[in-house]
Structure formats: structure tokens, C-alpha cells
Chain A
Amino acid sequence: DAKTTQPPSMDCAEGRAANLPCNHSTISGNEYVYWYRQIHSQGPQYIIHGLKNNETNEMASLIITEDRKSSTLILPHATLRDTAVYYCIALSGTASKLTFGTGTRLQVTL
């Protein structure tokens, strides 16, 4: 599975959009981009995933560049409860064995 690179930390004001970047320049054609987050010491929570098209669900939007070498997770109206570590993962295969890096620590402030 391709290596991903994320900034170690970001800040966002409450109510503003949080845009979290991820670089996956070595991603292969059959690898999906997944986003998870981990709030405090809870279990990781699935957010969204995509292959090449942009995706949106009730939690977030995922924008994947046309060359698929990078992506951005967008939380449209961040709240204090969105403070967490966000992980971007590229993977393929029928048994999706996740490998989490160190992620981006998002701090949402008043």
C-alpha cells in the first residue's frame, strides 16, 4: 500500500471549514484513499473513502486530485467535537489491513 504524508498538526476556528491535506504520490490505480479519525483515546472512526471521484457524506467531503497524488478532507463546519487525530490511508486488497501513520492532529478552537 502506498505511503501517505500528512502535516503533523493544524488549527481551525469553530464554524469554519477544516481542510486536511494528504500526499500519496505513489498511489497505484487500484488503491482507495481512506480517512479515519481518532478522538482522544477512542477507537478509530471511519469518515470517508474514494477511488478517483470526489465523495461527500454526512460527515465530510473528499477531494482527490485528477492525478490522484494528493487529496483533501474537508469538514465543512468544524466543531469542538471534531478535535481529533485524522489519518489518511491508501490501501487495496480484499482484506483491508490498515496501517496508520501518525496522522494530523486537528485542534478546533473557539
Chain B
Amino acid sequence: NAGVTQTPKFRVLKTGQSMTLLCAQDMNHEYMYWYRQDPGMGLRLIHYSVGEGTTAKGEVPDGYNVSRLKKQNFLLGLESAAPSQTSVYFCASSPPGRRGNQPQHFGDGTRLSIL
């Protein structure tokens, strides 16, 4: 049982390049999330999805796009990478729950450096 799998694990980009980060979960979870974590800081929500075909903005959505074409996959795209987007990106998933009563399960992260 893999849980939440993120690919790639590491990537170095040049400013202006584009790329897509893939998140896959095998737990049949409805909800999926993308976070970023900068050194010494907590997680910040970029975008999230409450079901296939739906996405919503989180706390820091600028410069990113997402798609949820299949229930098990949540893609995060960087249209034109900037050095400020150097970070560790975490994907998470959870089942739906009333009143916040469902924990999130995280992948191991993608470490992205923009030169």
C-alpha cells in the first residue's frame, strides 16, 4: 500500500521554465491538497481539491495551476518558474469528513530548486 506518492523527488529548474509535479494516492480519498514548505517555516496551502474535476485556491496560489482529472491524481503546474518558488512541495489526501474530522496523509515531498 503506497499511500501518497509524489514524483519527482528532486528537480532543478531554470527561471522561466515550466514543469508539473505529480501526486498519486491509492486510498480512494476524495480530498487532495498541495502545500509548500520554506526553510524554518510551516506548511502553506497552495491549492486543494474536494473531488474529481474540482479545484480551489488556497493561501498562496499565485504562479501555480492544478488539475484533478482523475480521482487518484492531483497535478501541480508551475507555468514560469521563479526563484521565489524554490521550496519543498508536499501533497496530501484525506477522505471527506464532517466538521474537520478526517486526518490528512502526506507524501514525502518534492524538493524543487529554481536557479
Contact = CB atoms under 8 A, between A and B. Distances in A.
B97 A99 contact: no
B50 A95 contact: yes
B104 A91 contact: no
B88 interface: yes
Interface residues of B, number: 35
Nearest to A103: B42
A93 B106 contact: no
A46 B100 contact: no
B13 to A, nearest CB: 19
B42 A41 contact: no
29 contacts: A32-B99, A32-B100, A32-B101, A42-B108, A43-B92, A43-B108, A43-B109, A44-B43, A46-B105, A49-B103, A51-B101, A87-B42, A91-B100, A92-B99, A92-B100, A94-B96, A94-B98, A95-B31, A95-B50, A96-B94, A96-B103, A97-B48, A97-B58, A98-B33, A98-B43, A98-B92, A99-B42, A99-B59, A100-B37
